[in-house]
Amino acid sequence: MSANPPLRDWQGQRVWIVGASSGIGRAVAEALHARGARVIASARQAEALAAWAAAAPRRQALPLDVTDRDAVAAAAARLWAEGPVDVVLHAAAHYQPLRATALDLDELLRHQRVNVEGALHVVGAAVPRLLAQGHGHLSLIASVAGWRGLPQALAYGPTKAALIHLAEILYLDLRPRGLGVSVVNPGFVATPLTARNTFRMPALLTPEQAAQRMLDGWARGAFDIHFPKRFTLALRLLRCLPYRLYFPLVRRATGL
């Protein structure tokens, strides 16, 4: 039995994607629109969203800054006033490589505001409305960087670990009420965020490949959608190692 109701028929489904201006969020928006969904795209880049929405029917631009609690609440109120929302995807993120030897408190806090508080703003606006309508699916994009501590992920990793934990509890609370919940843990995907990395990124995917794997996971009713498997399964094994083995292995593998 699948964890969630499978999402396979997208025709006419209303999908709100927060963080849809580029990268995985934009690729998912394109993929779902191509399958007949009505896609509402949110991000800060108002002009880019407007151009995307104007290019085809069944597209709607709803600019907002995810760190602005009132803006997120107003956007949700507007969307649900127009009808039920079937899927909410939180894809907004901030990333800057950071190590403790060059600690930047402003960067640490910005990651928290965008990646964690931003997600909570979306959850706070969407969950009561999903419960009230009695159906729907909430999905959060986290990262394999949230599975265990990794070099250069001092700011990013803890925020993604928080989203994984959040999604697990949301699933426990909301699945018995008929809602679907999923967490997406990508490996390396070629986006404007990962372009900041100066190291080789193994098993690098395009945003379009990442979007297809997400759609495949939703179609299976999966809770934990992680990819590419040739990379993420190895990281899964690392999660089981005791610290006395994990820390030396990571240092040898990364040279950091």
- How many beta carbons lie within 10 A of that of residue 78, not counting itself? 11
Please say if 156 is a catalytic residue: yes
Cα dist from 138 to 16, 124, 215, whole Å: 10, 12, 14
Q: Which amino acid is at 133?
A: Q
Distance CA 246, CA 250 (A): 6
Closest CA to 186 of 247, 135, 152, 232: 232
Q: 4 is written with which tokens?
A: 């969630």
d(CA 227, CA 209): 10
Compute the distance between CA of residue 68 and CA of residue 179 in angstroms, rounded to an integer.
Answer: 26
Catalytic residue among 95, 156, 243, 246: 156
Q: Which amino acid is at 97?
A: P
Report the C-alpha gap between 139 and 87 in whole angstroms.
8
CB atoms within 10 A of CB 134: 10
* Nearest CA-CA partner of 27 in 38, 13, 41, 14: 41
Q: Do 79 and 16 touch, CB atoms closer than 8 A?
A: yes
> Which residues carry out catalysis?
156
